[in-house]
A and B are shown apart, each in its own frame.
Chain A
Amino acid sequence: MNGSKRDLAIRVEDIAKVYRLGVKDEMHDTFGKTVMSFLRKPLKNLKKYKSLYQFDDIDMDSSGGADRDDILWALRGVSFEVRQGEVVGIIGTNGAGKSTLLKILSRITPPSRGEIMIRGRVSSLLEVGTGFHPELTGRENVYLNGTILGMRKAEIDRKFDEIVEFSGVETFLDTPVKRYSSGMRVRLAFAVAAHLEPEILIVDEVLAVGDVAFQRKCMNKMQEVGSQGRTVLFVSHSMPAITRMCERVILLDRGQVAADGEPHQVVSEYIRGSRESAAEKRWEDLSAAPGGKVVRLRALRLKTEDQRTTDAFDIRRPIGVEIEIEVLEDGHVILPTFSVWNSEGINVCVAVDVDPAWRKRARPPGRYVCTGWIPGNFLAEGAFTLNTTLWLQEPVRNQEYHVTDVLAFHVIDSLEGDSARGDYVGDLPGVTRPLLKWETVYYEEGREVSRIGRAAI
């Protein structure tokens, strides 16, 4: 596919979206109160009400937009082009403006500035099952939802059997949807959406619902849509899905395009730039920190090899777990430990500080920073939480101080081919994902021809 030859499908030029803060809540006052406040401060109120619809007072044209505390720039100066048949992923932290961008592209809300050119019919899927009505039967909802998403009746007639087959709810077709399980409802709704045949498909994070098997089915369907030469724009928090499906990724950061290009590079950039959320915890007030009269916890921190604090780790790189303690009483053997839990609640591993310098040795009072390194190519992709426990040994009886669910992090596989998944891009189950050493002996007609080994790291 020679990208440059393909026609433009979408051109976004300097789009900005401004929301006014605060006014929203005040707007929903009762009519009576409004009249009263109009009587009291007529001019001020008139201005306030006008301000909701007009942003004349805001300098829209300055490239970044003026910073003011009563307005919020959900998007500012976003520009990009998408060619026909391109599958583009959009990533970014919560509140980066991804949904806002998709809403503007699908005409749900107008931009405050800029211009968008779209060539072809657009269908957008910002939610699965918009407009489903519980009293209607599955069959009726297929038609209702289909037309809401922009299909014509004739079109649905044509694809009806296919939709029903994809959903797998044939037997309940004439049952009101209110008697469906939520899983069935999602299946049916996605089946309708999957059979839209727009030139441009816009999908927000909607695939996070439904069971794993069905999610996979949906992903495949989206991939199929992409391979049919349609343009797809989709938002996802699943980095494997993004890197697997997209030929290009746009990273939004606080309403601006922070990166745009090759998926692995942009995803890596996203990982690198991730803000520090659950990556660090400090107890400023030592007397309130976890612990007792012997030892207290000062801080917990997740870091990379180059000492950066982050909550997103490349699957190939080690994860440093830093436990900072303050020993207050002499004469105790103290063991910092931590355990790693995955999102399914499985305890992946427990690590006990085995630093030879302090094995079986009482720690004199003072500050200690103990770091345990989880090796790269060990944890599987996904979200993890970290529990920390301080074990107290000799001379007194064992005592423990627990801190649970304070730190959380993600392990992300940017699919560059040198992780344990090799060139496989689908979902991989498993709690750990070690990079094994593999070797092959090749026999040709009974004779050993070669030994080809691939070393781990």
Chain B
Amino acid sequence: MNAGKEQVSIIRPPRGWELINLRELLEYRDLFYFLVWKDIKAMYAQTILGFGWAILQPLIQILIFTIIFGKVAKIPTDGIPYFLFATVAIIPWTYMSTSMSLSGLSLITGQNMLGKVYFPRLIYPVTPVLTKLVDFGISLLIIVAVMVYYQVAPTMQLLYLPLFILMMMCVPMMAGLWLSSLSIRFRDVRFAMQFVIRMLMYSAPIVYTASSIPETYRFFYSLNPIVGVIEGFRASLLGLPMPWEYIVPGLVVCIIGMVGGALYFKRMERVIVDVI
């Protein structure tokens, strides 16, 4: 046969820390594609609204928040209409929270497959982060519609948006890597997830402004990368000055957290099948 193409692979007991094999991951891009396709199709199968849910879900949340925090609690928003203020934050937040929870549970959800077939284990937590981008893309329509309604003209700040979309993907990726690795040990990750996500929502300026946090705590506050994502989205969409002091610390945490999460994941990967 074609001896030239033949690859020789060696299987050994794993030792020490390992890095992620990006090339191997790339070889599985077709699998990524079909897994994402499966998730999307399975999610909207037999629903009347189908993709309409990707719009309806965040829209309802925006409405509720506008009523509770905008009209009833009258939370100050630096002069921005509350509906607009909440929209630009809730859309990325919905993406982050749903993909974070799916990614964190991905190894538990996929445990049947884990023991039966090999593909890079990293695919499990990465897939939801990609799948949910479709919903996110659709829900961007809400942002467009709301901005048109409030006649917010796009500014040059909009050019920063891709950076924040990237950062927005990094947050659930980081959380997913850590949570899925931990979920092998602790099954209560599953139960804690919803609770933690609700807490996280209040840890970021989604229903309130970042400026309402006292200056002395600002640095600690902005170590949370969700803060940076939300602030970044607001600034680039609404044409506000870029609050780098809220963004940079989170970005650094995010990068360190992702690398750490990947290393930890690779380490736990070895025992996943044996203990799950």
Q: Give B2 Cβ to nearest chain A Cβ, in Å.
A: 10
Among A125-133, A261-269, A317-325, A431-439, the stretch that binds chain B is A125-133
- Inter-subunit contact A52/B117 (CB<8 Å): no
| A178 nearest in chain B by CB position | B45
Tell yes or no: A205 within 8 A of B by CB: no
Tell yes or no: A369 within 8 A of B by CB: no
- Inter-subunit contact B188/A31 (CB<8 Å): yes
| Shortest 9 CB-CB contacts between residues of A and residues of B | A116-B11, A135-B45, A147-B31, A107-B118, A153-B30, A127-B116, A109-B273, A135-B42, A144-B34
Known: A147-B31, A153-B30. A108 touches B116 (CB 8 A): yes
Q: Give A446 Cβ to nearest chain B Cβ, in Å.
A: 55
Known: A30-B188, A110-B13, A115-B12. A131 touches B113 (CB 8 A): yes
A219-261 interface (Cβ within 8 A of B): 229
Q: Give A239 Cβ to nearest chain B Cβ, in Å.
A: 25
Inter-chain contacts of B188 with A (CB < 8 A)? 30-32
> Considering the chains assembled together, what is the distance between the CA atoms of A107 and B10 in angstroms?
10
B22-48 interface (Cβ within 8 A of A): 28, 30-31, 33-35, 37-38, 41-42, 45-46
- Inter-subunit contact B113/A130 (CB<8 Å): yes
- Inter-subunit contact B42/A133 (CB<8 Å): yes
Tell yes or no: A292 within 8 A of B by CB: no
Known: A144-B34, A147-B30. A103 touches B11 (CB 8 A): no
- Inter-subunit contact B186/A114 (CB<8 Å): no
Known: A19-B274, A53-B267, A144-B34. A136 touches B10 (CB 8 A): no
- Inter-subunit contact B185/A153 (CB<8 Å): no
- Inter-subunit contact B41/A135 (CB<8 Å): yes
Tell yes or no: B166 within 8 A of A by CB: no
> Considering the chains assembled together, what is the distance between the CA atoms of A15 and B113 in angstroms?
24
Tell yes or no: A281 within 8 A of B by CB: no
> Considering the chains assembled together, what is the distance between the CA atoms of A124 and B187 in angstroms?
29
Known: A119-B8, A153-B33. A31 touches B186 (CB 8 A): yes
> What is the interface residue range for chain B against chain A?
35 or more
- Inter-subunit contact B31/A124 (CB<8 Å): no
Inter-chain contacts of A29 with B (CB < 8 A)? 186
- Inter-subunit contact B186/A118 (CB<8 Å): no
Chain B proximity mask over A95-130: 1 for CB below 8 Å, otherwise 0: 000000001111111111111111111001011001
> Considering the chains assembled together, what is the distance between the CA atoms of A130 and B68 in angstroms?
47
Inter-chain contacts of A133 with B (CB < 8 A)? 38, 41-42
- Inter-subunit contact B6/A119 (CB<8 Å): yes
Known: A107-B11, A130-B116, A130-B117. A143 touches B273 (CB 8 A): no
Tell yes or no: B137 within 8 A of A by CB: no
Q: List 28 A-B contacts (CB under 8 A).
A: A23-B275, A28-B187, A29-B186, A31-B186, A31-B188, A84-B1, A111-B11, A113-B13, A115-B12, A116-B10, A117-B9, A117-B10, A118-B9, A119-B8, A120-B7, A130-B112, A131-B117, A133-B42, A135-B42, A140-B38, A144-B34, A144-B35, A147-B34, A147-B35, A148-B117, A151-B30, A153-B30, A229-B1
Known: A140-B37, A152-B30, A199-B1. A109 touches B13 (CB 8 A): no
> Considering the chains assembled together, what is the distance between the CA atoms of A110 and B13 in angstroms?
6
Tell yes or no: B14 within 8 A of A by CB: yes
A-B contacts besides A147-B30, A147-B35, 14 pairs, CB < 8 Å: A24-B274, A30-B188, A52-B271, A52-B275, A53-B268, A103-B273, A108-B114, A115-B12, A124-B117, A130-B113, A133-B42, A136-B42, A144-B37, A148-B34
- Inter-subunit contact A149/B267 (CB<8 Å): no
